[in-house]
Amino acid sequence: MDRQLTVEFPWLVLKTIAVPSGNFYKLNPSTDVRALSSDRLYVAEQKIDLSGYVQDNLTVGFRRSFEQKGGSEFITWKQSYDPSSQFTTETILVSSVPLNDDQMLAATVGMPGFTNFAAVGVYDWGNFNREHIIHGSYKIYYPNSVIGSGAFTSSGSATMLAAVDNYFSSLEPTAADCLYCYRIMNVPDHGDLTSGIQNITLPPVRVILDAFTVEEPDLEYMMRLKRSYELANQV
């Protein structure tokens, strides 16, 4: 039977403010976005409940996945802006296993499910493989320097465009009872009230999974259920 599974991620709106102790980003109030280890890294987390399908002994499969956006990426700055180093990254994951904070940090550098470089004590890559990441995308945003942008050597603003737009969805069938959904956003350093980045806005995102449910033969389903349990407990 066909299903459409959907997860929604809210806006990220950051504004540079100053207090006696220094400058920092003020996060637009949102119950679904939190800072992750620093004021440059933010994550929105959601879940898709599949427990009803598991109770009916159904496997959930996927034909395709895609993303929709409810606006444009936008950035403003004062005095100057260096796009060679001040870029924004966005990683979106729908996984059959949860990620901890260290693994979310690592996902801004190397994508989970791939063979990543050895960096002992630096990044926690987890024990992911291709099957875990049902939907995955990675983007790097730079300001649009062609249309509607201010000069980088003076105060200005611009929309942002994805110079890198990678997808690595496995669309692997699962018997897991839950899908864990993450939008991990890594932004450049803030400025102060007279120079540097003043505002960064990333629009809401919707991930749609074109899914179906099927009742597999008992042996195949039990093996898939066992595999889902093993994957969830080896990360």
Q: Which helix (H) or strand (E) holds 218?
A: helix 218-234
The residues that bridge with 8 in the sheet, in sequence order, are 206
Residue 114, pLDDT score: 87
Token readout for 78 is 């004062």
Quote helix, strand, coil % in the chain, to nearest 5: 15, 45, 40
Residue 125, pLDDT score: 81
What is the C-alpha end-to-end distance of the chain, expressed in Å? 31
Q: Give whole-number Cα distances, 13 to 27, 36, 111, 228, in Å.
A: 6, 15, 25, 36
Query: For residue 209, how many other CB atoms are within 10 A of its CB?
Result: 23
Nearest to 210 by CA among 3, 1, 30: 3
**pLDDT by residue (tens digit) across 149-190?**
777 888 889 999 999 999 999 999 988 889 999 999 999 988
Residue 135 backbone phi and psi in degrees, to 5: -135, 135
Give this prediction's pTM: 0.91
- Give 32's pLDDT tier (boundaries 50, 70, 90): confident
Residue 57 backbone phi and psi in degrees, to 5: 60, 40
Supply the mean pLDDT for the chain.
87
Residue 234, pLDDT score: 57
Q: Give whole-number Cα distances, 227 to 60, 63, 131, 195, 209, in Å.
A: 14, 20, 10, 53, 21
**pLDDT by residue (tens digit) across 96-154?**
989 999 999 989 988 888 887 765 557 888 778 888 899 999 999 999 888 767 778 88
Mean pLDDT for 192-221 is: 89
